[in-house]
Amino acid sequence: MSKIAEVKAKVEAGKTKLVPGLVQEALDQGNAAEDILQAMVDSMGVVGDKFSTGEIFVPEMLIAAKAMSKGVEVLKPLMASDGASSLGTCIIGTVAGDLHDIGKNLVSMMIESAGFNMVDLGVDVPATGFVDAIKANDNVTLVACSGLLTTTMPALKEAVETIKASGLTGFKVIVGGAPVTPEYA
């Protein structure tokens, strides 16, 4: 089994303590940081599929995401020094009235591993907090608003409407959370 395949398997298995060493070994063998990162992203795709089918649950998914995060930490200095360009800044937060952050944190790790600089506003973020963060940060290309509770769906809508009404441009807005359907988005 190649080192990259080992990294992929250990991320899927959530082997947080083993992944950083395997990532370093893969690098030492001459594998490109981008190829290792792609293998980890692919493994999280497998984890997501297993979650969707009920084969694994949130704790296993979070452990796999943490393992990937540890691997990404090893790659970050190389990716920055490689001259790899950032995809921009992503502002992420859970909307007002909602204190849930597990999904937001998982999505944040995935977006960061794809090449974004992350600004995490945390939970219970008022609609104007997203606008203020967009104004305060450079090169914002993505704004991600999260909401887990059906009771905070109006706050999700308000956040998007406030961002659009601000007149700021140059970024996309994405929404997510358990009650969010494609139709609602």
Residue 167: inside a domain, yes or no?
A: yes
| Mean pLDDT for back-to-back runs of 10 residues, the chain (185 residues) | 93 95 95 89 87 88 87 80 69 94 81 85 97 96 94 94 96 92 89
Give residue 81's pLDDT. Answer: 52
The residues, ordered by sequence, that sit 6+ positions from 145 with a Cβ below 8 Å of its Cβ are 92, 93, 94, 95, 130, 156, 159, 160, 173, 174, 175, 176
The predicted model scores a pTM of: 0.67
Say yes or no: 105 and 151 in one domain. Answer: yes
Residue 13: inside a domain, yes or no?
A: yes
Phi, psi of 90 (to 5 degrees): -115, 125
Instruction: Tell me the C-alpha distance between 128 and 125, whole Å.
Output: 8
Residue 151: inside a domain, yes or no?
A: yes
- Tell me if residue 141 falls in helix, strand or coil: strand
Give residue 83's pLDDT. Answer: 46
Residue 40 domain boundaries: 3-82
The whole-angstrom distance between residue 71's C-alpha and the CA centroid of its chain comes to: 14
Single out the residue in 24, 51, 82 at which a domain terminates.
82
Give residue 100's pLDDT. Answer: 86
Q: Residue 159 is part of a domain; what is its CATH number?
A: 3.40.50.280
